[in-house]
Amino acid sequence: MNVSASASTDVSSTTTVTTTCRLCLVRCGMKVDTVNGNVVRITGDQSHPLSKGFLCVKGMASLDYTLSPKRVIYPQKRVGERGSGKWQRVSWDKALDDIALRLNDIVGKHGAPAVAVQALPPKEYFAYDIFCEAIGGATFFKQDSHQCFTPQFMADVLTYGNLITYPGFMEVDDAEVIMLWGVNLSETNGCKNQRVRDAQKKGARTIVVDPRPTRSAQEAELWLRVRPGTDAALALGLINVMLERGWYDRKFVEEWTVGFTALAERAALYPPERVAAITWVPAEDIRKAAEMFGTAGTSALYTFIGATMGGNSIAAIRLLGFLPALLGKIDQPGSNRFLLPTGLRMPGYYGARKDAGRDEDAHQRLSADKFPLLAGPEAITSPYPHPRQVIDAMLTGKPHAVRALWTSCNPLVSVAATYTELAAL
C-alpha cells in the first residue's frame, strides 16, 4: 500500500481499513483512512474490545514512521569495513541469492544448527519458524529466556498449567481490588490502563508494587515501594498475613491445591517485620495490602516486566500466583482469568501440542542439558536455547558451531553482555 502525508480532495475514493497496531504485543485497534490507495490518517478503533479507540504516542505516530526518510525499505549490502557505515543498495534478487548461497555453504559444512535465528514478538516470527523447518532445524532463540515473558509463562504453567498472572484482560470491571505488581500500565500499556480506570470509576481500589514513583503508583490507593529484587520476600509476607488471619478459602485449598502445608511453613518464616527489613516496605503497609487483597469480594493480581527481571523471577512469580489461588476464585469474574493458548504456531511459547512447534531433535539442542525445562524434550514452552549459550557457541564452536545469525532485533542491546556479543558477531 502506498503512503501519503496529504489527503486527496476526492472524498469519493476514500477507504477506511480496520486493522491493529503492530508496534507492541497489545495490538490496539486502528482505523486507517486511504485516498486513492494512499494512507492519509490513522485513528483509534472505537469498536475494538480492548483499546476502545485508544492509541499511545507510538501508535499515533505510525504514519510518521512509515514516511520517515530514515526507514530502510530496500536491501543494503555493506561495502566498507564493519562499523564504517558504508552501504550500497542492491536488488532483492541479488540480496536473496547472496544470502542463500552463504547459508547453504554454512549448512553444508556445519549443519543446519550452525544457522541461528533470533526473533521476538511482535515481529512476524511465523516466517522464522517456517525458515527453521525448511533448512532442517536452525538454532532458533529469543532474548527473553531468562527475563521478560518466558519466565512468567513458565512460572504460571508450573503452578496452574496455564498463563494467569499476565495482564491479558479485556476488562476488569468486576474486580474490587486490583494489585499491579511491577507493571506500570499508566505509562507503558495505555489501553489496559483505561480498563483499570474504568474499574476504578466503579469503585475498584488498586495496590501498586513498584520501587519507582510511577504514575500507576501515584494513582493507587496503596503503594508498596519494594526494594528491587525482593519480590519473593514481599509475596511470602503477604501470604503470611493472609494465612494467619484466615483470609483464604480453606475448602478450595483442600480440594484443588497441593503443597499447601509446605507453603504455610515457609510463609511462617516471613512475618511482616522481617519482610519489612528485607523489602523496605513498612510492616503496616504489608498488613494493609494483605487485608485489602484478602478480604475483598473479588481480587486480581497482574504482573510482568518488574517481577520477571530478577535473578529468581520464576520462584517470585510462582509466589505471586499463589496469592489469587488462596482466595479460591480462579477464572471467575473479577479475579484472575486463564489466558488460553491460541493453538497457533508460536515458536518459543506454546509447545503443549506436538504439532504447534518445530520437530527438531530436542536432545541435540543447545541448553537442553543445562536448562531442560527451557530447551529439553520436556520443555514447558516450545523449546529453545538460552541466548548466552548461543553466543558461547559462536565464540567457541562448542558444542557445535554457530556461523550465521538472522535477526530482526538488535542483539547488542537485547542480549546481556554486550561486549561478549560484539566479539561473537
Domain spanning 164-327: CATH superfamily: Dimethylsulfoxide Reductase, domain 2 (3.40.228.10)
What global pTM score does this model have? 0.86
Phi, psi of 305 (to 5 degrees): -55, -45
What is the assigned CATH class of domain 113-145+343-424?
A: alpha beta
The CATH code that applies to domain 2-67 is 2.20.25.90
pLDDT of res. 12: 60
SS3 category, 234: helix
Residue 32 carries which side chain, given as an amino acid letter? Answer: V
pLDDT of res. 14: 86
> In this structure, what C-alpha cell is assigned to residue 57?
504516542
Largest CA distance in the chain: 73
H runs (alpha helix) in 230-301: 231-244, 250-256, 260-267, 272-279, 283-295
Chunk the chain into consecutive blocks of 10 residues (it has 425) and report each block's average pLDDT, rounded to whole numbers. Answer: 42 84 88 91 92 91 90 92 91 96 95 89 72 85 81 91 87 93 89 90 96 94 96 98 98 96 98 98 98 97 90 92 95 88 52 45 78 85 86 93 90 84 89
pLDDT of res. 127: 79
Phi, psi of 327 (to 5 degrees): -80, -15
pLDDT of res. 377: 83
pLDDT of res. 124: 65
Structural domain boundaries in the chain: 2-67, 72-110, 113-145+343-424, 164-327
pLDDT of res. 9: 44
pLDDT of res. 357: 45
pLDDT of res. 294: 97
pLDDT of res. 149: 84
